[in-house]
Structure 1
Amino acid sequence: MPRREIEPPHLTKGTTMISRRFAVLIVFSTIVLPTARIDAQPGESKARPTLYYIPHTHWEGAVFKTREGYLEMGLPNILKALRLLKTYPDYKFTLDQVAYIKPFLERYPEEEAAFRRFIAEGRLGIVGGMDVMPDNVKPGGELFVRQVQYGKQYCREKLGVDVTVGWFLDTFGHHPQMPQLLNLAGYKSFWFCRGVPHNRLPSEFHWQGIDGTEIPAFWLPGFYGLFYGPPRQLPEFAKFFRQRFDSLNGHAQGAERAGLAGVDVSEPEGYVPPLIEQFNRLAESPFTIRCAVPKDFEAVVARRRGAQVISGDFNPIFQGTYSSRIELKQWTRNLEGLLLNAEKLSALAEWLGVPPDHEMIWRAWEPVLVNDMHDLASGVMTDLVYEDTVRGYEFSKRLADEMIETRWDSIAARIDTRGEGVPIVVFNPLGWPRTDIAEVEIGFAEPGVNDLNLVDADGKTAPVQLLHADRDSDGGLKRVRIIFLARDVPALGYSAYRALPLRIAADRSEAAGGDPLNNIIENEHYRVSFNLATGEMTGLFDKSGQWEALAGSANVVSREQDKGDLCELYRGLDAGSAPPGPDRRNSATNTPGRMERFAAGRCSRSSPFRTRSPMEVLQPESGSTRVCAGSRSRRSS
């Protein structure tokens, strides 16, 4: 097969590309595509090609309305689609997202039989096969896997269909491991709109992932509503369809082509089926309109030979969304870890004979899956929707915390902790041995406890630090929070320690490694030096590699003007949605308030800057605001 690589975005005349600072450089070549309509492929009609007209509705999980608000708006559209399917034998319709379909069948159970019948007949296409149309760039991989598990399981068990059409029409960019993930999940196609580097991409090709996996890809150059909203009179209707059909010239890889008809939470157009019949009867019609679902067109493309192979990713797009409402990204990451721990503890508890509660696990995952929807994960929503989104996260966290506590209690009850002092068991939820900091709160009821000693399972003393202590009037410990280094805790296993009460305070005068007089601290891995007057980190020496990591001061605070909360203005092709210029690494948008950047190195001599206290405004010596290249941004509350 001919092989093509995606060319880098933003390659315009006179633009100088700045080399990326990565260990591996990927060189992309330019795609050169024909501009004339391609001749019919074998199996396609040469006399009168077919437009595969795909009515659908793109349900918005929550952006300007809450989840429930969009359900109230969108569920009647499914009723309208079923009415058209019952009225017109040749009509077909496409639905996505379990979070849209499931509430419909729960609220209109009388329609379930017809719903399932139309699916079995191939007239109601179910695509996506996930709870929502997710963001597949910013959230973690485990969350993507749960989208597939939750959505596909529902579609198989409730609807009797294994969804194989990957449906990412509105998702903000796509990373290059998607072909592999989709293939492993049983998908046979990838439909998308956003993230392409230029307008010359073919609409049908094979997308090759970083591992070499290929998946048939269907790009929609006119977006997913190209054929939505035609005029209601036949002459204007025919002109509308001819113009849009011809607009796909130069993209379509055969005489036949697909055209989607649907926009966000759009109502199916009941006046269109009769007009399609009239259009097809016209002798001068240059093509036939066939109402279809995505699989119909996929079967046509599968018969073609010599599909182009394109590798790389479809990014970047709307880069401001990487930091918009950053708290939501933090919620997602934290809950992904909590729910994974709950799953692992549940599996171990089940192995030990505790009855599982799979329903509760999925109940905890579902709000997180909904909040993984591309708009929500990107932080592009109103304040009302933001608050509703946070409430969903809070609900999931309560369930996750409860599962972790109950499952761990059931496991810990089977561990022999008999012996002197307070037993402490450290569990490692990872799949490999781990040495890490552990923190725990313990209490003493007996009087006269002035300190404690920590020992491991072999009776060896382990270094421990008292973070906080509540004491009686006589100075004895009541409650204390300690921190210590738990070494070599087995994978999916535990290590036991004991906190032994002491009547006499232990000698904790041993200083940390380093040279405190010269503001240096160190351990077996690193040696770090500071300027205490400014807070700068002046040195970071890696002992394992014997190299100094910093070329200049780090942890230097700079300030720049905040450009607002939401992503950049939409553009159909985000080959160029980022701000113009040869180097955009320092451009960012963020939440209202103060935007801070922490420089990884020193600015150039031409524009040095000073550090500042939290309330000072930084003024570079040159008199203009400057942020060093290569810095990383974070939001300050």
Structure 2
Amino acid sequence: MRPDHRLAIIVSHTHWDLEWYLPFHRFRVNMVEVIDRVLDALEQDPEFRHFVLDGQSAVLEDYLAAAPRQRERVGRHIRSGRLAVGPWYILPDEFLVSGEATVRNLLCGHRVVAPFGRAQKVGYMPDSFGHVAQIPQILQLAGIDSFIFTRGLGDEAEQLGWLFRWLAPDGSSVLAVNQCDGYCNAGGLGFAEIWHAHTRRTVDLGLATGKVRDLLEKMEQRPGAYPALLNNGCDHFPPQQEFGSVLQALREAFPGTRFRHGRFEDFLAAARADTPDEERPAHRGELLGGKDHLILSGVWSTRMYLKQENELVQGLLARTVEPLAALAHFHHGDTYPAGLIDDAWRNLASPPRGRPASSS
């Protein structure tokens, strides 16, 4: 790609651990404030065009339970495509749950968004601790042909670059996008410390352009540097402060690069316009490497009693409750308890309103 054709897509987002170093209810208080500010930014800042409400529709569900007055406002922005939600219900830790639980998680995520509009059709999994080989197959069956992630690549990352085709055992493939420096790579622009984004303080435009310069230089060390994906957010982050000024500063500091505020779908479309998927390098198998980001596999063995109970319940649902309910319906005319079963899968996915890794 010629230097004057370089493109950088800035995707504003927040990543929401439903519980983590604070309990669920404490985090939900913060959530209401953050999402209120997102809605204000979408309506008041002409440069602030899109926001990704993580890849988990449980965030939307929990926000509206605490702020039902915002239901129409949220729905309007989802329908217009300016607020992206889903496709998952919660961010799955794929090695801790069954394949059926992963599928139900995705179905539930779509179901929560459906009353408001279309779920985000991007396989956005920014902070899962490794990925099972069947994820491309599951995503394709849900009508999703992309996968955006941070953790999981090993030494193969040098040859694959930032964009590659990931193939499942059955041959299904998705365009995989590895987030250089992670899903927070352009979060908190203009602050000396990224966590200053949680506070009100002056934005230093020199710090903002310097951080993006370092990031672009790092991207250029591997194939697939452009279009560049700048993830403007991080854990529990509100929208970027002084966004319009930051965007203008980037355009002035990098005259050879076009900066656009957009969605993950916009980035994927630009990447495919630059290079068709079939011309990208291919990779098969699980993503369990830790070259750039640790997998944090210690969560797989903590609080084992919770994992054993989860295994028991998901087995009962898939292999006992649903088959017997179907048998009773088709052979005896009993009413199939679809709502109760769907609710059981939903509660199993997020019993304390936290993903397995956060709760472990």
User: Which TM-score tier does this pair reach, normalised by the shorter chain?
Assistant: 0.7 to 0.9
Q: Does 1:323 align with 2:298?
A: no
TM superposition shift of 1:51: 1.3
Local SS of the residue matching 1:73: helix
TM superposition shift of 1:376: 4.6
| Letter in structure 1 aligned against 2:323 | K
Q: Does 1:302 align with 2:272?
A: yes
Computed over aligned residues only, the root mean square deviation of the Cα atoms, in angstroms, reads 2.3
The residue aligned with 1:243 is: 214
TM superposition shift of 1:193: 0.6
Q: Does 1:347 align with 2:326?
A: yes
Report 1:402-413 matches (<5 A).
Answer: none
- Structure 1: which 4+ aligned runs deviate by more than 6 Å? none
Q: Relative to total residues, which structure has the larger helix share, 1 or 2?
A: 2
TM superposition shift of 1:195: 1.4
Task: Indicate the larger mover: 245-254 or 202-211.
Answer: 245-254
TM superposition shift of 1:49: 2.1
Q: Does 1:102 align with 2:102?
A: no
Cα distance change of structure 1 residues 99 and 283 upon mapping to structure 2, 3 Å threshold: closer
The residue aligned with 1:133 is: 91
8 A contact 1:202–1:251 mirrored in 2: yes
The residue aligned with 1:184 is: 141
* Structure 2 alignment gaps of length 5 or more: 191-202, 290-294
Q: Does 1:273 align with 2:273?
A: no
Q: Does 1:80 align with 2:37?
A: yes
| Letter in structure 1 aligned against 2:105 | Q
Q: Does 1:145 align with 2:103?
A: yes
Q: Say which of 93, 108, 113 aligns to 2:72.
A: 113
Cα distance change of structure 1 residues 283 and 326 upon mapping to structure 2, 3 Å threshold: closer
The residue aligned with 1:224 is: 183
Cα distance change of structure 1 residues 319 and 235 upon mapping to structure 2, 3 Å threshold: closer
| Letter in structure 1 aligned against 2:15 | H
The residue aligned with 1:260 is: 231
The residue aligned with 2:17 is: 60
Q: Does 1:363 align with 2:320?
A: no
TM superposition shift of 1:364: 2.2
Cα distance change of structure 1 residues 302 and 371 upon mapping to structure 2, 3 Å threshold: farther
TM-score by length of 2: 0.85
Cα distance change of structure 1 residues 192 and 132 upon mapping to structure 2, 3 Å threshold: same
Cα distance change of structure 1 residues 255 and 130 upon mapping to structure 2, 3 Å threshold: closer
| Letter in structure 2 aligned against 1:338 | L
Cα distance change of structure 1 residues 334 and 146 upon mapping to structure 2, 3 Å threshold: same
Q: Distance in 1 between matches of 2:236 and 2:356?
A: 19
8 A contact 1:53–1:261 mirrored in 2: yes
Count matched residues: 334
Cα distance change of structure 1 residues 74 and 243 upon mapping to structure 2, 3 Å threshold: same
Cα distance change of structure 1 residues 51 and 330 upon mapping to structure 2, 3 Å threshold: same
- The one-character-per-residue Cα deviations of 1:475-530 (angstroms, maximum 9, x if unpaired) are xxxxxxxxxxxxxxxxxxxxxxxxxxxxxxxxxxxxxxxxxxxxxxxxxxxxxxxx
* Structure 1 alignment gaps of length 5 or more: 1-38, 41-45, 387-637
Cα distance change of structure 1 residues 349 and 181 upon mapping to structure 2, 3 Å threshold: same
TM superposition shift of 1:324: 1.5
The residue aligned with 1:332 is: 310
Local SS of the residue matching 1:167: strand
Local SS of the residue matching 2:124: strand
Q: Distance in 2 between matches of 1:240 and 1:285?
A: 16
How many percent identity over aligned positions?
Answer: 25
| Letter in structure 2 aligned against 1:358 | A
